[in-house]
């Protein structure tokens, strides 16, 4: 019973932290203390936080490596932007349209997760990393050659150019290949983003601390033992991975509805993006949800604050990633850390006794 | 009535005949030992019984039901639970959560109920907590319920593995060298616990062991395995005095 309280408390701290950051950011916007550049970052930041939390579900809780999380984000972004643009006249209510876009974006990304997971998650080893890496690149490239238009006769598809769509003159191009989708309604706001972060946290944290979460973590710790006590390994692996993919799709929806033009470039949906999300997770602590949120915020804001170093950004990421891995897993570093922590505890205790 | 009936069991790995014409007959409620020199195929037989390997031939009947060809999780549901020679705990979960993972199939609620924290979640989790603590108390682990499994001392890790297997409510419990790495005091304590568990939970236990003190102390019947074949079987005292068995263990 005592432990239940401890978990509830820890979860509560996470929720409160998000809300406090939200209020602080809103206050800064209201009082005019935030540059317009930073204000522009607020909505993408929400998407990154959700991505970091969802990837942590795959990497930290399920114990599988995914190197194509930006791919799931890309699926969510394009499907939802496509939906919103088509429905702009049919559903004039922005709230309802956005809600439906969210559901569709999450579902599409989740289905992609299931399709990848069914064959790959049955295998032991690092196959998921390889396949998701390929998936991310494939999705990005498909979006770059895809042309979809709509006229009185319905939808037209092509993978060549706008001309080969063969539309009537009054037809409208919706997805214009490398130029992407233009004119998606800008429905994402910082407030909606934060609400979705809280929703993501609610899903992920409650999943972890439930019967299914225990099953997922037991598979991570020892697959053979998990099977021997009757846990359906494939089912729970698939469940965790598809939930993670669906949440990445939600991040994609937020991201897409914040841009005038949505294009699939290496910068936003490519390999670099997937690695950046992984850096959030590793830096925040694998399996540590609160850490992922903090890392995502710090690593998104720091480059803007330290603009001068932008050329060395990927280099610094790599160095930090390696340094953190050493700090977290090297036996010598762990020894040193424990010694230091003990000293600190001791001092704290001594102080408490003095009082 | 026999709980487990194995006939003519055999498996080959490539050209190696690991188990050949193996048979086993275990009565309900008995404490049965499986012994043999290193490499005789004892753990292979556990892996065959729990569906990790599929036998080339033979039948395994548990409580009147043929379980050959079933998957590990189905066999666990049918009533066989096991521990491992090299301990396999969920090391980053607490002791309590290790046992609760074992209760997975017996105290159930859906993932949705878990995420939305519906009343059933609280009710079932409370049941699980109570049941897990009950089991931990039997093995004297209840004070360490909050500890991470990997932080337990070796002897307690072995006990926790047995607790976790017990949580799946098996009819037949397979213990793979439960006393390996334990000192004589711990072994003695373990012997008492095993006997206590068998009597309180009305279990049938099949164990692999090298510690002859433990084997002669608690096993009522034995099968001796050598080169994948049954060398001798029967009452413990008779089997251990069998000249063939002594020869296999000590050489000529």
Chain segment B203-228, per-residue pLDDT in tens: 999 999 988 888 888 999 999 999 89
- pLDDT value for B210: 85
Has residue A22 been placed in a domain? no
pLDDT confidence tier of residue A352, bands split at 50, 70 and 90:
low
The mean per-residue pLDDT over the stretch B78-89 comes to 94
The mean per-residue pLDDT over the stretch A162-172 comes to 80
pLDDT confidence tier of residue A347, bands split at 50, 70 and 90:
low
Residue B104 near residue A225, CB atoms below 8 Å? no
Together in a domain, A272 and A310: no
Query: Is A206's CB within 8 Å of B115's CB?
Result: yes
Distance CA A58, CA A220 (A): 10
Query: Is A210's CB within 8 Å of B111's CB?
Result: yes
Distance CA A71, CA A271 (A): 9
Chain segment A102-126, per-residue pLDDT in tens: 999 999 999 999 999 999 988 877 8
The fold of the B1-79+170-252 domain, in CATH, is: Rossmann fold (3.40.50)
Has residue A14 been placed in a domain? no
Has residue A320 been placed in a domain? yes
CB contacts of A228 in chain B (<8 Å) are: 50, 72, 76, 81-82, 84, 88, 165
Chain segment A272-292, per-residue pLDDT in tens: 899 999 999 998 989 999 999
Query: Is A225's CB within 8 Å of B90's CB?
Result: yes
Together in a domain, A87 and A123: yes
Query: Is A231's CB within 8 Å of B96's CB?
Result: no
Together in a domain, A211 and A344: no
Q: Is the ipTM beyond the 0.85 threshold?
A: yes
- Beta bridge partners, A155, equal A150
| B 41-80 residues with CB < 8 A to A | 50, 52, 72-73, 76-77
Residue B4 near residue B172, CB atoms below 8 Å? yes
Q: State the alpha helices, DSSP H only, in chain A.
A: 2-30, 36-56, 69-87, 94-120, 127-145, 190-208, 211-221, 223-228, 233-256, 266-269, 271-284, 289-305, 313-329, 331-354
When divided into structural domains, chain A yields a total of: 2
Domain boundary among A248, A268, A295: A295
Distance CA B136, CA B138 (A): 5
Together in a domain, A313 and A282: no
Together in a domain, A265 and A312: no
- pLDDT value for A184: 86
CB contacts of A212 in chain B (<8 Å) are: 111, 114
The shortest CB-CB distance from B115 to any of A3, A207, A228 is to A207
- pLDDT value for A24: 94
A interface mutation test: which of B115, B120, B144 has the most A CBs within 10 A?
B115
Is B106 touching A (CB cutoff 8 A)?
no
- Mean pLDDT of the residues in chain A: 89
Query: What order do you get walking across the sheet with B204-208 strand by strand?
Result: B80-82, B172-176, B204-208, B31-35, B221-226, B229-235
Is B129 touching A (CB cutoff 8 A)?
yes
CB contacts of A229 in chain B (<8 Å) are: 76, 81, 101-102, 104, 164-165, 167-168
Residue A309 has pLDDT above 80, yes or no: no
Has residue A214 been placed in a domain? yes
Together in a domain, A311 and A284: no
Together in a domain, A275 and A353: no
Compute the C-alpha angle A178/A182/A185, nearest 5°. 145
Chain segment B117-176, per-residue pLDDT in tens: 999 999 999 999 999 999 999 998 999 999 999 999 988 999 999 999 999 999 999 999
pLDDT confidence tier of residue A260, bands split at 50, 70 and 90:
confident
Distance CA A243, CA A109 (A): 9
Tokens of A18: 């998000």
Residue B28 near residue B201, CB atoms below 8 Å? no
Is B204 touching A (CB cutoff 8 A)?
no
Together in a domain, A209 and A328: no
Distance from CA of A321 to the nearest CA of B (A): 23
Residue B3 near residue B62, CB atoms below 8 Å? yes
Query: Is A231's CB within 8 Å of B101's CB?
Result: yes
Chain segment B16-27, per-residue pLDDT in tens: 999 999 999 999
Together in a domain, A190 and A277: yes
Has residue A16 been placed in a domain? no
- pLDDT value for A1: 46
Has residue A230 been placed in a domain? yes
Domain boundary among A249, A273, A295: A295
A201 vs B214, higher pLDDT: A201
Is B164 touching A (CB cutoff 8 A)?
yes
Residue A188 has pLDDT above 50, yes or no: yes
3-state secondary structure of A197: helix
Distance CA A350, CA A354 (A): 6
Distance from CA of A274 to the nearest CA of B (A): 27
Domain boundaries, chain B: 1-79+170-252, 91-167
Residue B178 near residue B209, CB atoms below 8 Å? yes
A74-110 burial, b at 16+ Cβ within 10 Å, e below that, comes to bbbbbbbbbbbbebeeebeeeeebbebbbbbbbebbb
pLDDT confidence tier of residue A234, bands split at 50, 70 and 90:
very high
Together in a domain, A206 and A314: no
Distance from CA of A229 to the nearest CA of B (A): 6
The shortest CB-CB distance from B101 to any of A3, A4, A218 is to A218
The mean per-residue pLDDT over the stretch A121-134 comes to 88
Chain A: residue nearest B109 by CA? A211
- pLDDT value for B59: 93
Residue B40 near residue B48, CB atoms below 8 Å? no
Query: Is A221's CB within 8 Å of B91's CB?
Result: yes
Query: Is B72's CB within 8 Å of A227's CB?
Result: yes
pLDDT confidence tier of residue A303, bands split at 50, 70 and 90:
confident
Distance CA B44, CA B18 (A): 8
If you count them, how many residues does chain B have?
A: 252
Q: Which residues contact B10 (CB under 8 A, 6 or more apart)?
A: B17, B19, B20, B21, B22, B55, B56, B57, B58
Query: Is A3's CB within 8 Å of B124's CB?
Result: no
Chain segment A1-60, per-residue pLDDT in tens: 455 578 889 999 999 999 999 999 999 999 988 888 888 899 999 999 999 999 999 999
Pairing outcome for strands B2-13 and B16-27: antiparallel
**Closest Cα partner for A208 from B115, B190, B136?**
B115
The shortest CB-CB distance from A230 to any of B52, B88, B104 is to B104
Distance from CA of B88 to the nearest CA of A (A): 6
Burial class, A295, CB count within 10 angstroms (exposed 0-12 / middle 13-18 / buried 19+):
buried
Residue A350 has pLDDT above 70, yes or no: no
- Beta bridge partners, A170, equal none
Together in a domain, A152 and A290: yes
Chain B: residue nearest A60 by CA? B92
pTM over the 0.90 mark: no
**Closest Cα partner for B51 from B26, B25, B78, B70?**
B70
Q: Report the percent of chain A where pLDDT is more than 70.
A: 96
- pLDDT value for A36: 85
User: Domain limits at A342?
Assistant: 306-355
Together in a domain, A217 and A326: no
- Mean pLDDT of the residues in chain B: 92
């Amino acid at each position: 019973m005592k432990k239940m309280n401890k978990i509830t408390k820890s979860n509560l701290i996470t929720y409160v932290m998000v809300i406090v950051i939200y209020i602080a950011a809103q206050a800064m916007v209201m009082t005019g203390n935030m540059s317009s550049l930073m204000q522009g970052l607020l909505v993408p930041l929400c998407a990154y936080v959700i991505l970091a939390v969802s990837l942590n579900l795959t990497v930290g809780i399920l114990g599988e490596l995914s190197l194509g999380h930006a791919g799931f984000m890309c699926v969510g972004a394009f499907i939802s932007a496509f939906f919103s643009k088509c429905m702009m006249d049919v559903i004039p209510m922005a709230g309802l349209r956005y809600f439906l876009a969210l559901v569709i974006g999450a579902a599409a990304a989740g289905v992609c997760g299931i399709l990848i997971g069914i064959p790959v998650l049955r295998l032991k080893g690092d196959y998921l990393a390889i396949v998701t890496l390929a998936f991310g690149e494939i999705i990005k490239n498909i979006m770059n050659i895809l042309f979809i238009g709509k006229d009185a006769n319905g939808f037209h598809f092509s993978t060549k150019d706008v001309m080969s769509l063969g539309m009537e003159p009054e037809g409208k191009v919706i997805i214009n290949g490398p130029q992407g989708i233009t004119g998606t309604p800008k429905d994402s706001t910082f407030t909606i983003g934060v609400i979705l972060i809280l929703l993501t946290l609610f899903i992920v944290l409650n999943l972890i601390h439930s019967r299914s979460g225990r099953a997922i973590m037991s598979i991570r710790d020892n697959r053979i033992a998990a099977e021997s006590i009757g846990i359906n390994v494939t089912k729970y692996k698939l469940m965790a991975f598809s939930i993670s993919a669906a949440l990445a799709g939600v991040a994609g929806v937020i991201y897409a509805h914040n841009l005038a033009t949505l294009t699939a470039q290496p910068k936003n949906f490519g390999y670099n993006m997937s690695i950046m999300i992984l850096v959030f997770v590793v830096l925040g602590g694998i399996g540590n949800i609160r850490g992922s949120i903090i890392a995502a915020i710090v690593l998104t804001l720091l480059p803007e604050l330290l603009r001068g170093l932008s050329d060395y950004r990927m280099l610094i990421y790599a160095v930090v990633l390696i340094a953190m891995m050493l700090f977290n897993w090297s036996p010598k570093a762990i020894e040193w850390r424990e010694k230091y922590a003990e000293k600190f505890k001791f001092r704290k205790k001594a102080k408490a006794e003095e009082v | 009535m026999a709980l487990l009936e194995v006939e003519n069991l055999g498996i080959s790995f490539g050209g190696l005949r690991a188990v050949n014409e193996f048979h086993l007959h275990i009565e309900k409620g008995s404490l049965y030992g499986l012994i043999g020199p290193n490499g005789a195929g004892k753990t292979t037989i556990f892996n065959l019984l729990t569906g990790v390997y599929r036998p080339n031939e033979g039948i395994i009947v548990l409580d009147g039901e043929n379980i050959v060809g079933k998957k590990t999780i189905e066999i666990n549901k049918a009533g066989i639970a096991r521990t491992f020679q090299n301990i396999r705990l969920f090391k980053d979960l607490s002791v309590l959560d290790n046992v609760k993972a074992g209760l997975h199939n017996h105290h159930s609620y859906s993932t949705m109920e878990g995420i939305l924290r519906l009343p059933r979640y609280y009710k079932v989790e409370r049941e699980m907590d109570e049941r897990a603590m009950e089991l931990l108390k039997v093995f004297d682990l209840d004070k360490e319920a909050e500890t991470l499994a990997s932080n337990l001392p070796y002897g307690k890790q072995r006990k926790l593995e047995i607790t976790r297997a017990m949580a799946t409510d098996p009819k037949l419990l397979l213990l793979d060298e439960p006393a390996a790495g334990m000192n004589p005091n711990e072994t003695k304590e373990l012997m008492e616990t095993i006997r206590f568990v068998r009597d309180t939970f009305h279990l049938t236990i099949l164990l692999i062991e090298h510690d002859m003190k433990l084997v002669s102390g608690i096993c009522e019947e034995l099968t001796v395995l050598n080169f994948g074949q049954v060398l001798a079987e029967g009452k413990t005292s008779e089997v251990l005095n069998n000249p063939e068995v002594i020869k296999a263990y000590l050489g000529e």
